[in-house]
Chain A
Amino acid sequence: MPEHEPPSPPPIPESRAVPKKRTRFSLVWFIPILAAIVGAWVAVTRVLGQGPEITIIFKSAEGLDAGKTKIHYNGVDVGTITAIRLTDDHRHAIATAQMAPKTDEFLVEDTKFWVVRPRISGANISGLGTLISGAYIGMEIGQSKSEKSNFVALDAPPVVSGEMPGRFFILKTLDLGSIDTGTPILFRRLQVGQVASYELDKDGKYLTVKIFVRAPYDQYVNPNTRFWHASGFDVSLTANGLKVQTQSLLSIIVGGIAFETAPTALILPAAEEKAVFILYGNRTEAFNPPPRNPQTYQLVFKDTVRGLTPGAPVEFRGIPIGEVTDISAQIDLKTFEFAVPVLIRLDPQRLGVKVFDLGPGSNLETARRKLIDALVAHGVRAQLRTGNLLTGSAYVALDVFPSAPKTTVDWAQSPVQLPTTAGQFANAEATVEDILNKLDKMPLKEIGDNLNKAITDLDLTLASARGTLTSAQGTFDNTSNLTGANSSQVQQLNETLKEVSRAARSLRVLADYLEGHPESLIRGKKGEAK
């Protein structure tokens, strides 16, 4: 407390004394306490209101913006990207996202994230809204139970949502064709699924296409089902003629994969999830799969093989049993004989190897040889035939020619040579040639000379014939005189005939009298007698 020193000159007024209560502890301290409480409350609600923090690795953070880009699930904002940085190897972008509260259960092992951008893929255009709003991150909640906080984003949105009922199948193909993610899967031209993904096998031989077939159509896929490219037009010009096959209009534009089970195939239980199928080039190929155990044989044709191309069918009485694989030409320099060896691939099993009982000890190979031997012995020969007159395409026919010269198959050769016979055309040509040869050999000059001579003879003959005819005329004239109306012979003949007529009359009178009086023959005429 201040000390009171004796006042210095000027008189200073005194203040009035007012008693005053003093509180030692100022109420002002409630202010920082209140501030602390409010601050703590805000902090607590912020912390509690925050969901888990996750990281997502993107190939590229293009279009993503820290603090702005949202994570959407079914259109609901469930999180925000808070930071984007490069991964340690500088190859990818790693984004940290602050998720909304209570999203922990969504963030499981198989939850997927992807960037939604405007995308035109195959049959659909998606993400147009992002043109205005900017990219956002799509999310699909997984089924797993184990939680996770580090994710790797997908390159493209998954075409198939995990919750959609249906099944995945694997297709193996040599050529991707126009297949893309989202390419429709068609069953009787009804879109029943989509291509989920595709990738090249590690060995580079095949492409593995993963497709999704929605329920309930997945039940129509069984182990006998065939898949084929239904990509747009399928135009084929073969020995069978021009063939144009199309699927739906959509698949003409974007391509597609169709499947079907042959109606004759056994009804099998539906295929399992992730069953593997072969993806054929087209429907025909799908139902005529290449020979399973093809054998190569050689056919040597002496005549032209025009119209025959590799891939041309080999038919046995119209049943395709193989195809032509190679055509070359061969010249024997000694004899100057031309020959065309044609390699064919046959599946003799299609000829029914089964008919031969595969007894113990005998294998498929011996059975096959037995079959071929038997066929050749019975006159089966290969022949070139024209399949289509319009296009001139030819095919190889195996048929029975009972008159063919006997031959056997030499199994020591490689490839084994099967006997051939001249083609239909070759036969016709040979016949025509034969006729022409014969015509050529005809002695036309002699024939002409003889003909000339014959004509001269004919002249003479005609002259003598005229003489003969003249004399014949005289004879006819005489005859005419003899038989003329005024000739004496005719008159005499008339007289004679009158006499005969008269004689006949009197004879009739006599006959009548005799009929009435038969006794007159003995007694004579009564009247006259009296």
Chain B
Amino acid sequence: MTAMQQGLQSCEGCGLLSRPAPGENEGRCPRCDEELTFRKPASFQRTWAYLIAAAICYVPANLLPVLTTTTAAGAESDTIMQGVVLLWSPTGWPLSLIVLVASIMIPSAKILALAYLLITSQRGSAENNEQRVRLYRMIEFIGRWSMVDVFVDTFTAALIQLQPLMSVEPGPGLVFFAAVVVFTMLAVESFDPRLIWDSASTKEVTYA
């Protein structure tokens, strides 16, 4: 049983449940003038588009250096993974772990999780609905933390400018990494979690 099945629309802005005008499918919220839809428009399409864009950017984000450190001993460019390895030391491992989790595991987990949600929802799978919703909430929550790496790198680059002794400059990988984070956030945003249980309720109705 869903609101859509009842011919009702929920406002995304204020949560007001309303019924579309007769003969119309969509309209505006009578309370907050928010655009009303039964489901986010073209949710699958847009989510897929952002997800693919994120996946594409993910490759150069990991292959290109994110940070170029110039010291008297020469310039050194590190990718994210090299940074993790570099930070890994008996005392510095927590920091290394944070970078690993925030910069490598979370973006990849987000992309994979979203792809899983999209595929299962499009195929109309009705299983593990609760878990899939939980997964969605999780990726929505943790998504923003991926920006930690971008912030750390930009701050470092801004702070460490001791020319000519030492300087840190952001590398091209950082732009792609930021793009990955933004695209995954947009993808999460464009995904309509209600689609997860749409198929389930359709089946419910069918079997009912």
A and B are interacting partners: yes
Contact of A36 with B by CB under 8 A? yes
Residues of A within 8 A of B50 (CB): 28, 31-32
In contact, B30 and A16 (Cβ under 8 angstroms):
yes
Q: Which residues of B contact A7 (CB under 8 A)?
A: 19
The answer on a CB contact under 8 Å between B23 and A17 is yes
Given contacts A14-B18, A34-B53, 16 further A-B contacts (CB under 8 A): A1-B25, A12-B8, A13-B19, A14-B21, A15-B20, A15-B36, A17-B23, A17-B24, A17-B27, A18-B24, A18-B27, A28-B46, A28-B50, A35-B53, A42-B60, A70-B74
**Count of A-B contacts judged by CB separation below 8 Å:** 107
Do B26 and A20 touch (CB < 8 A)?
yes
For B72, B82, B179, the residue with the greatest tally of chain A CB atoms inside 10 Å of its CB is B179
For the complex, give the distance between the alpha carbons of A4 and B45 in Å: 27
Q: Chain B: interface residue count, which band? A: 35 or more
Given A13-B19, A15-B28, A2-B5 contact (CB < 8 Å): yes
Task: Flag if A5 contacts B7 (CB, 8 Å).
Answer: yes
The digit string for A20-53, where 1 denotes a CB below 8 A from any CB of B, is: 1010001011011011101100110010000000
A14 and B20: CB pair below 8 A? yes
- What 9 A-B pairs have minimum CB-CB distances, sorted nearest first? A15-B27, A32-B53, A17-B24, A35-B53, A32-B52, A17-B21, A28-B49, A28-B46, A35-B56
How many Å from the CB of B95 to the closest CB on chain A?
21
- Measured CA separation A32–B190 after assembly (Å): 14
Interface flags, B22-66, vs A, CB<8A=1, else 0: 111111111000001010011001100110111011011000100
A132 touches B73 (CB 8 A): yes
**A36 to B51 alpha-carbon distance, docked (Å):** 12
Could you show 30 A-B contacts with beta carbons less than 8 Å apart? A2-B4, A2-B38, A7-B19, A12-B8, A12-B17, A14-B18, A14-B22, A15-B9, A15-B19, A15-B21, A15-B28, A15-B29, A17-B20, A17-B24, A18-B28, A26-B45, A28-B45, A31-B183, A32-B52, A34-B53, A35-B52, A35-B183, A38-B57, A42-B64, A42-B176, A43-B60, A46-B64, A132-B73, A133-B73, A134-B73
* Bound CA–CA A43/B18 (angstroms): 50
A1 to B22 Cα, complex, angstroms: 13
Please give the residue numbers on chain B whose beta carbons come within 8 Å of chain A beta carbons, in ascending order.
4-9, 17-30, 36, 38, 41-42, 45-46, 49-50, 52-54, 56-57, 59-60, 64, 72-74, 76, 82, 172, 176, 179, 183, 190
Q: Does chain B have a CB within 8 A of A332?
A: no
Task: Kindly report which residue of chain A lies nearest to residue B6, judged by CB atoms.
Answer: A5
Task: Point out residues on A near B: beta carbons under 8 Å.
Answer: 1-5, 7, 12-18, 20, 22, 26, 28-29, 31-32, 34-36, 38-39, 42-43, 46, 67-68, 70, 132-134
> Chain A CB within 10 Å — which of B22, B29, B49, B59 has the most?
B49
Q: A2-B7, A26-B45, A42-B64 are in contact. Are A16 and B21 (CB under 8 A)?
A: yes
Shortest CB–CB separation between residue A2 and chain B, in angstroms?
5
CA distance A151 to B7 in the complex (A): 76
The answer to whether B49 touches A12, judged by C-beta atoms less than 8 angstroms apart, is no
Q: Which of B54, B64, B74, B179 has the most CB of A within 10 A?
A: B74
Contacts of A28 in B (CB 8 A): 42, 45-46, 49-50, 190
Q: Which residues of A contact B25 (CB under 8 A)?
A: 1
Q: Which of B42, B54, B59, B73 has the most CB atoms of chain A within a 10 A radius of its CB?
A: B42
Give the CA-CA distance A42 to B176 in the complex, in Å.
10
User: Given A13-B18, A14-B21, are A32 and B74 neighbors across the interface (CB < 8 Å)?
Assistant: no
- Please determine whether B26 and A68 come into contact, CB atoms closer than 8 angstroms: no
CB-based contact B29/A133 at 8 Å: no
Contacts of B72 in A (CB 8 A): 132-133
- Contact: B18 with A35, CB < 8 Å? no
A127 to B103 alpha-carbon distance, docked (Å): 41
Tell me the bound Cα distance from A4 to B25 in angstroms: 11
- Across the interface, which residues of A come within 8 angstroms of B30, CB to CB? 13-16
Most central of A7, A14, A26, A31 by chain B CB within 10 Å: A31
The distance from the CB of B83 to the nearest CB of chain A, in whole angstroms, is 13
